[in-house]
Amino acid sequence: MNIEQLSSVEIQPESEHKYSVIWLHGLGADGHDFESVVPELHLTTQAHIHFIFPNAPIQAVTINGGVSMRSWYDILERSLDRKVDIDGIYQSASLIEPLILQELAKGIPSTHILLAGFSQGGVIALHAGLRCSHQLAGIIALSTYLPTIETLSTECSAVNKTTPIFMAHGILDPVVDIESGKAAFDTLKSMDYNIKWHDYLMEHSLCIEEIEHISVFINSIFK
């Protein structure tokens, strides 16, 4: 895999480009999945934000009978806390760094670049963001967990120890159970990360209240 293979859906800034958001979709979706959320966020600096929604590589997914689809890593078992495609997580995380470097090359400070992700995309956002050598503006991790958390103590980047993290989950989530997400939050909190937890009466999705809270979070960072 390389950066040429990681195509993206993009929303260009209407005014001077000052901020960037890289938002990663979930299993089987694509870069268009969260495109429609942008107007609902009502961001005060929206005209200055470059939104990048990368398309995950197409690969076979074991739990779906080996059918190929867009996936950041293989899902080997329905029980998320058992066998995990750790190599796939590291490989996809390495594809995000060039997107960050691409924005830096445009003159956007790393502290004006925010990583967001849903489900599988949230895993990659957390994994890549907490290991990124550039200080990021923030990380948004939705309906997700962090199977690589055990290696974080030796691989984490000190510059992102104070980066604000928004973590949210549906109480009724049948895909990524809330306990998995809360366990990741609790561990990150115990490691003194600047992280806040939100949960909502929903399944594996987004809700209006969550979108409002995401809006407040981004507006508090991009001013």
Averaged pLDDT for residues 52-75 = 94
On average, the pLDDT of the chain sits at 94
For residue 176, is it within any domain?
A: yes
CATH number at residue 42: 3.40.50.1820
Sorted by sequence, the CB contacts under 8 Å of residue 124 that are 6+ apart come out as 24, 72, 73, 89, 92, 93, 96, 117
Q: Residue 4: pLDDT above 80? A: no
For residue 74, is it within any domain?
A: no
What's the pLDDT at 191?
96
CA distance 23 to 115: 6
For residue 49, is it within any domain?
A: yes
Q: Name residue 69's amino acid.
A: M
Sorted by sequence, the CB contacts under 8 Å of residue 182 that are 6+ apart come out as 169, 197
Structure tokens at 109: 């400070």
What's the pLDDT at 2?
42
Residues in the chain: 223
Q: Residue 3: pLDDT above 60? A: no
Residue pair 173/142 in contact by the 8 Å Cβ criterion = no
Catalytic residues: 119, 173, 204
What's the pLDDT at 1?
40
For residue 70, is it within any domain?
A: no
Structure tokens at 30: 């694509």
Number of domains in the chain: 1
Q: What is the DSSP string of 72-140?
A: SS----SSTTSS--HHHHHHHHHHHHHHHHHHHHTT--GGGEEEEEETHHHHHHHHHHHH-SSPPSEEE
Q: Which residue has the tokens 């809360």?
A: 182
Helix (H) or strand (E) holding 182: helix 178-190
Distances (CA, A) of 188 to 41, 115, 194, 206: 26, 17, 8, 23
DSSP 45: T
pLDDT digits 0-9 by tens, 146-156: 999 999 999 99
Residue-range definition of the domain harbouring residue 193: 3-54+85-221
Averaged pLDDT for residues 67-89 = 87
For residue 148, is it within any domain?
A: yes
For residue 72, is it within any domain?
A: no
For residue 100, is it within any domain?
A: yes
What's the pLDDT at 6?
86
